[in-house]
Amino acid sequence: MIQVKGLCKSFDDFTALSDLNVHVETGSIYGLIGVNGSGKTTLIKHLTGVYMPDAGQIEYDGEDIYENIGVKERLGYIPDDLYFFNSYNIRDMASFYRKIYPRWNEPRYQAMLQEFGLSERRKISKFSKGMQKQAAFILTMSIMPDYLILDEPIDGLDPLIRKKVWRYVVSDVAERQMTVLVSSHNLREMEGICDYIGILSGGRMMIERDLEELKTDIHKVQIAFKDQQDRSFSDLNILHREKRGSVELLIVRDSGDHVKSVLKKEDPAVLDMLPLSLEEIFIYEMGGESSEIQSILF
């Protein structure tokens, strides 16, 4: 389990993280989402032991991560901005990884290298961004990590390669109980693989829930009435409301049974409850369909 307790971090007069708590269950895939500037990168740099907290704790199965070589040997990290030694090819990088990661798996490395079809002799600096991502993934998965931190892991990858990447991740979670935290703006992909979701905003955790529970507690409702009387629906937790002709659209965070019970009392002519995607949930939880939020999603 990865636990973040009361994490605080400031840079001069700017507070990047404030009393932040995160819980990533062992053998699960946790999706971290938020708009640009929400604190995701700062959190990840704490999770990987790069930053020392101003206050709070970051623990991996009860052990602090900062300056803890034993934990870091079991931690795989693929950042958004990749770094390789300038003149190295994958074979050189693999030799470097073998020396610092005691659980290096040579058969897996060779199998993945063949499956992804990358040249072992070509300098990584000559690879495209997508090929560099693949190289980083091959090297990281070959250390057989117990914990895996991914920052925009599929950015620049074509659909076939993305499928291979997630297949390896999901397989290691199922077979070895690897624990994964992934930060990505690709919410469609996250919805398909994550068990838990954390929505970060302004350096604070807004929502941290099981994904299926989150999707069952927020609803898109289309409702219409025979008369034009205004109704407040004060018994519902309405995140968003808009009129579309004679039909009203409601985004409601409540149990489905409660929503239906309240709305049926108003004797609607039309009442439809529709599922929401993770993208839609994120948009409405962040305060509506603002241009800033849509710009990072679409």
pLDDT at residue 286, as a whole number: 81
Domains of the chain: 2-212 (3.40.50.300), 217-297 (3.30.70)
pLDDT bin (cut points 50, 70, 90) of residue 4 is very high
Q: Are 4 and 109 in contact (CB under 8 A)?
A: no
User: Does the pLDDT of residue 287 top 90, yes or no?
Assistant: no
Q: E-assigned strands of 165-263?
A: 179-183, 196-201, 204-210, 218-224, 238-244, 247-253
Half-sphere exposure of 231 (CA within 13 A, CB side): 24
Q: Residue 195 CB: number of other CB atoms within 10 A?
A: 16
% residues pLDDT > 90 (the chain):
82
Which residue has 């004679």 as its token pair? 246
Mean pLDDT over 137-160 rounds to 95
pLDDT at residue 295, as a whole number: 39
Residue 70 dihedral angles phi and psi, to the nearest 5°: -60, -40
Residue 13 dihedral angles phi and psi, to the nearest 5°: -95, 5
Q: Are 20 and 205 in contact (CB under 8 A)?
A: yes
The rounded distance, in Å, linking the Cα atoms of 230 and 3 is 47
User: Does the pLDDT of residue 288 top 80, yes or no?
Assistant: no
Flag the least confident range among 61-70, 263-272, 273-282, 286-295.
286-295
User: Does the pLDDT of residue 42 top 60, yes or no?
Assistant: yes
Mean pLDDT over 206-234 rounds to 91
Beta bridge partners of 106: none
pLDDT at residue 230, as a whole number: 86
pLDDT at residue 76, as a whole number: 97
% residues pLDDT > 70 (the chain):
96
pLDDT at residue 290, as a whole number: 47
pLDDT at residue 96, as a whole number: 96
Q: What is the pLDDT of residues 261-284, one digit of tens each?
A: 999 999 999 999 988 999 999 988
Mean pLDDT over 170-191 rounds to 95
pLDDT bin (cut points 50, 70, 90) of residue 147 is very high
Give every CB contact of residue 117 below 8 A, 6+ residues apart in sequence.
none
User: Does the pLDDT of residue 289 top 80, yes or no?
Assistant: no
DSSP string, 68-96: -HHHHTTEEEE-SS----TT-BHHHHHHH
Q: What is the pTM of this model?
A: 0.89
Q: What is the pLDDT of residues 93-142, one digit of tens each?
A: 999 999 999 999 999 999 999 999 999 999 999 999 999 999 999 999 99
User: Does the pLDDT of residue 293 top 50, yes or no?
Assistant: no
Pull the structure tokens for residue 209.
């829930």
Q: Which residue stretches of 118-182 are H helix? A: 129-141, 159-176
User: Does the pLDDT of residue 298 top 70, yes or no?
Assistant: no
pLDDT bin (cut points 50, 70, 90) of residue 88 is very high
Q: Are 19 and 204 in contact (CB under 8 A)?
A: yes
Q: What is the pLDDT of residues 238-257, one digit of tens each?
A: 999 999 888 999 999 999 99
Rounded to a whole number of angstroms, the CA Rg of the chain reads 22
Mean pLDDT over 153-159 rounds to 89
pLDDT at residue 228, as a whole number: 81
Residue 52 dihedral angles phi and psi, to the nearest 5°: -95, 130
Write the DSSP symbol of residue 274: E
